[in-house]
Amino acid sequence: MSAVSELKDIQEKNNSMICVGLDLDKKRIPSDYSSSIKGMYDFAVRMIEATCDIVAAYKPNLAFFMELGPDGLSLLEKIVKKIPDDVRVILDAKMGDIGNTAAHYASAVFERYKADWVTVNPYMGYDAIRPFLDYQGKGAFVLCLTSNPGSREFQFMHVVNKPIYMYVAEKVAYWDKEQNLGLVVGATHPEQLADIRGAAGDCPILIPGVGAQGGNLEIAARAGTDDFKKLALINVSRSILYASDNNEDFDKAARTEVQRLNSIITDIRNNVEQEKKDRRADQGR
């Protein structure tokens, strides 16, 4: 089964587009869990157990684990093992290096850390991405238009009357022969997200920037899926992980927040379907 098919299956099973970003920030984790590796592990496990049946994916950010040294990388391995097999794991590492080096990165991502997807940087071209595509059932989300303010410094530059991010979208759609490539597009660029969706073919889109960064959930869900005809993931980190700083109920608060987001997206989808029915009815009159 292709990486995209497995992503679609878990979205349908758990009725969710939500990807929870596992950005384990010791400054924000409840105090009883922030002072040790074991505490951070327990925090992550409670978070996973509280939400794994209502999300599609988890996205651990490699930087938060590297910061902790060897123990942090061991922590990453242990956390991934606690994620159910059918829920997708996206290692947010933004890798991109020459082919021989990329092959070692790919081995680490997929064999050692057992991720299903990885985020990669397209700046060095296809040969830097190709090694990640040699693993059957695994996939790579390619940075296309990121949610940070600095994205405008390069990604919006026009080359022959077209912004660079559109070249990335078109190239990735062309490279996607095995249903194992996707794009990263920030919810903070709603108009561009719709344009990229049109150029991306059937590639799934990973959409960060909803919540703390100010992206609009409804616009992201509709534009990222072309009104629910295509595949997308909405990544949310801080508003789920740190929905409560209480040592006792943070996992329940996280579940409540995921359920709230799922409910909003379901309502949006239902409204879209109703709009379609109303248009068909008007055309039949």
Q: Are 118 and 96 in contact (CB under 8 A)?
A: no
Supply the DSSP symbol for 210. B
Among residues 161, 121, 160, 159, which one has the least CA distance to residue 142?
121
* Among 8, 26, 94, 230, the one annotated catalytic: 94
- Dmax (CA) of the chain: 68
The stretches of the chain forming alpha helices (DSSP H) are 3-14, 37-51, 62-66, 70-81, 99-107, 126-129, 164-175, 190-199, 217-225, 238-241, 250-284
- Which amino acid is it at 148? N
Length of the chain: 285
Say whether 94 is catalytic.
yes
Cβ neighbours, 10 Å, residue 210: 25
CA–CA distance, 89 with 31 (Å, rounded to integer): 27
Residue listed under structure tokens 């980190």: 237
In DSSP terms, 22 is beta-bridged to 60
Catalytic residues: 94
